Chains A and B, each alone.
Chain A
Amino acid sequence: MADQPKLFKVTIDNITIEVEAGTSILNAARMIGGEVAPPAMCYYSKLKGSGGKCRTCLVEVAAGSTADPRPMPKLVASCRTNVMDGMVVKNITSERVQDARKGVVELLLINHPLDCPICDQAGECHLQDLSYEHGAEDTRYEFPRRQFEKHNLGPYIQLHMTRCILCYRCVFTADQLTNKRVHGVLDRGDHAEIATYIEKSLDNDFIGNVIDVCPVGALTDKTFRFKNRVWFLKPVDAHRDCPKCSGKVTLWHRGDEVFRVTGRKDQWGEVQDWICNECRFEKKKTSDWVIEGPTKVSRHSVISANHYVGTVKPQEALPEVLGGRQPRLLMDIHSVSEVNKPNVDLSKIPGPAHSNDFKEGKG
């Protein structure tokens, strides 16, 4: 059939998947999901031209394609390399990749202030997740870390360059969502900084989205700064009739008070719809919104702590990667503990677990 889109067969970590021509390796791996998807700090599927900069998504291409099965000599950025038919990619099965990724994480962290205890992004920070999963437990960097002055970008947004990892996502956002670009990068090398040229504030209606795209705590919401920790708040999906945007948001509230409003994020931490500044910064009462229900939060996230309802069990890709074998556990808790029963799924229990739940499960 001529109308059928051309499908390429690509094998990532021993799992074969068919994807459309023109798909990047990263997106193909995301279709498989789980650990097979490489981490991405700078790539953002909704921003044209993003990606390729952070180098955390490096993968090894063991065979270029069926036509040319030579391996690629260097590790490639999976977010900017498209799949070819018959390509064989190694991500978590390649030691080279793991080693290089560990190196990149270390380099990303050497000048990061690691001020997570006072950072508003803590709990939903991609750099935190990344260093937890791929970083070393200790630093070998013994020098003073790079510091910048804080800048106010307009009345609502604060830029704290010290935390920035220069992913350029906010630059692309300002470039592609707003019609007057006043946001870019000044200087070069390790003293490069995100800037609005000569302190010009950003007053576009959609500029608040730079907060959502920032993978770290460099761009923060001034209406929310230091108000609360994200894991103490309840995220709920809500909407309102907004003339400017879709009005579909996530409200972070406790009781009647809405602490902050963000776009709805998917499992890769990317917003589904851009929201306008009015929705984000000015509608801070629950009465402004129609609440739909609790937001699904990944069980990995600290935000899901104490919220059993609606937590999503992550996909297990490891048995498939290992060719059907189960991963070897250092200790199976079920074999030594009477408390936890494998037939009781904690995420199915509404609210915190109680001893009664386990009795039921036993039955």
Chain B
Amino acid sequence: MGRKLLLEKAHVQGIRTYEVYRREGGYRSVEKALKNMSPDQVTEEVKKSGLRGRGGAGFPAGMKWSFLAKPEGVPRYLVCNADESEPGTFKDRYLMEFIPHLLVEGLIVASYALGSNRTFIYIRGEYAWIVDILEQAIAEAKHNGWLGKNILGTGFDLEIYVQRGAGAYICGEETALLESLEGKRGNPRIKPPFPAVKGLWDCPTVVNNVETLAAVVPIINMGGDEYAKIGVGKSTGTKLISACGNINKPGVYEIDMTISVEEFIYSDEYCGGIAHGKRLKACIPGGSSVPILPANLLLKTAKGEQRMMNYESLADGGFATGTMMGSGGFIVLDEDQCVVRHTLTLARFYRHESCGQCSPCREGTGWMEKILKNIEYGKGKKSDIDLLWDIQRKIEGNTICPLGDAAAWPVAAAIRHFRDEFEWHVQYPNAAQNRNYGLAHYADPLPVLAAPKA
């Protein structure tokens, strides 16, 4: 049984209300931080904990905080990125819906550390009902003296505002989020300058994911060093994984990053195996934009080692044979799923969500979708597969924001690992309309390369 830090109290009846949350030990970290620690000490604790950003990129949060410029007389802002729109990711929703006070508590501590007196939660428009839950929680916290002026008599003022987005995936990119929060069109900004120097209204700003900010609470409660002991290597602490797809028990799970992918999929504690007794074909372990892996590479790395559920192990082998932890949207595909169709769905999503600001992404995503549609519906050519590869290569790395990369990677990985399925679609267009390619050899054990003799 893995250790739980964030969802420990999630199943306590009424944890959504202030009274129950406080009775279960809530807001202890605020008392500890504001009364006994300086803002720099809080940042130092977070640095020591090794907490990595939970939004997808995995950048160390404490480091990000220490980059924040602190010029005199200029306000600083903390913005909570709750624009969780990555297909397959729904962990922040769970967190905000069931234990909203945990986020509010984390926000107070983080705002104190960063010196932000006005903190914003930018939430995706589709999470309409969660706005009410958060605002209720903020009102309760304010009523009980955790927000407002002179909190706990320490002289620290803080207000938290919830801002709804209008439902654009691109606004989950931090600079597009800031533009949107300022009331403009959600186009990503060109970096540098980074938000830590010039962010919201040209003031220094830190943008963090919901889960990252919630994780600040256990870090302060138990201490950064203690937190860093959980997990392995640079993957410290616990991570929420939102598992979905063809599994018996979809849902949000908290893992301590010491279990293997195989255990996560098949153990009864987590996903409970593939639904209807089918076999595992492929999996996207970190949300739609990270590379898809076939079953054999998912369970074992190219070196033949067990693949673990942590940042390093999932990325083992680079993009050639590995993938990424991403935001923890764990999508499982069984043997009856078609990878071409799946890739088309993702390409359609990225075409729809491209902001249209820079040309490779605006034009390239639409082109990829059209070609994939042809292949899926039996009108493809063999050369289309190479063309797709070439288009994704020309998008990747050449755009302003990471959405271009996010659109290119799933297509690249699908072709890299499932090229024969694409070719089968082209070669047998009629058969491809009636049946799926099936599992084929995607779960066969890979030949282990013998280590060179020393």
Contact = CB atoms under 8 A, between A and B. Distances in A.
A268 interface: no
Contacts, number: 90
Given A58-B398, A111-B363, A192-B362, A80 B190 contact: yes
A100 B404 CA distance: 14
Q: Which 10 A-B pairs have the closest CB atoms?
A: A103-B394, A192-B356, A107-B363, A189-B354, A52-B190, A190-B366, A189-B356, A74-B397, A53-B358, A143-B370
A189 B394 contact: no
Interface in A124-179: 140-141, 143, 165-166, 168
Given A189-B352, A192-B356, A75 B398 contact: yes
Contacts of B366: 111, 189-190
Interface string A65-80: 0000000001101001
Given A52-B190, A103-B360, A189 B353 contact: yes
Nearest to B366: A190
Contacts of A100: 394, 398
Which of A77, A100, A184, A188 gathers most chain B CB within 10 Å? A188
Given A189-B362, A190-B365, A103 B355 contact: no
B359 A166 contact: yes
Nearest to B396: A74
Contacts of A53: 357-359, 400
Nearest to B170: A188
B407 to A, nearest CB: 11
B351 A165 contact: no
Nearest to A74: B397
A254 B116 CA distance: 65
A52 B363 contact: no
Nearest to B184: A184
Interface of B: 168, 170, 185, 190, 351-360, 362-367, 370, 387, 390-391, 393-395, 397-400
A55 interface: yes
B370 A55 contact: no
Contacts of A166: 356-357, 359, 362
A190 B354 contact: yes
A55 B359 contact: yes
Nearest to A100: B398
A104 interface: yes
Given A53-B357, A77-B190, A190-B351, A104 B185 contact: no
A321 interface: no
Contact of B358 (A52, A111, A140): A52
B404 to A, nearest CB: 9
B397 to A, nearest CB: 5
A165 B395 CA distance: 16
A108 interface: yes
A166 B400 CA distance: 14
Contacts of A189: 351-356, 362, 365-366
B367 A107 contact: yes
A188 B168 contact: yes
A31 interface: no
Contacts of A185: 185, 356
A61 to B, nearest CB: 13
Interface in A246-282: none
B168 to A, nearest CB: 7
15 contacts: A51-B190, A58-B398, A74-B398, A80-B190, A100-B398, A107-B367, A107-B391, A111-B366, A143-B370, A185-B356, A188-B355, A189-B353, A189-B354, A189-B355, A192-B356
Interface residues of A, number: 32
A192 B363 CA distance: 11
Contacts of B370: 143
Nearest to B363: A107
A52 B400 contact: yes
Given A53-B400, A55-B399, A189-B362, 16 more contacts: A51-B190, A55-B359, A100-B398, A103-B390, A104-B394, A107-B362, A111-B366, A143-B370, A165-B359, A166-B357, A187-B356, A188-B168, A188-B353, A188-B355, A189-B353, A189-B356
Nearest to B364: A107
A190 B190 contact: no
A184 B394 contact: no
B59 to A, nearest CB: 15
A55 B357 contact: no
Given A141-B367, A189-B351, A55 B190 contact: no
Interface in A33-64: 51-55, 58
Contact of B394 (A80, A106, A165, A168): A106
A104 B397 CA distance: 12
Contacts of B391: 107
Contacts of A77: 190, 400
A146 to B, nearest CB: 8
Contacts of B355: 188-189, 192
Contacts of A143: 367, 370
A233 interface: no
Contacts of A80: 190
Contacts of B352: 189
Contacts of A106: 394
B362 A190 contact: yes
Contacts of A103: 360, 390, 393-394, 398
A236 interface: no
A75 B394 contact: no
Contact of A110 (B354, B357, B363): B363
Which of B351, B358, B359, B370 gathers most chain A CB within 10 Å? B359
Contacts of B400: 52-53, 77
A104 B356 contact: no
Contacts of A107: 359-360, 362-364, 367, 391, 394-395
Nearest to A111: B363
Nearest to B383: A140
Contact of B185 (A74, A165, A184): A184
A104 B359 contact: yes
A188 B356 contact: yes
A189 B354 CA distance: 5
A103 B364 CA distance: 10
Contacts of A75: 397-398
A108 B363 contact: yes
Nearest to B191: A80
B208 to A, nearest CB: 24
A192 B185 CA distance: 12
A185 B400 CA distance: 18
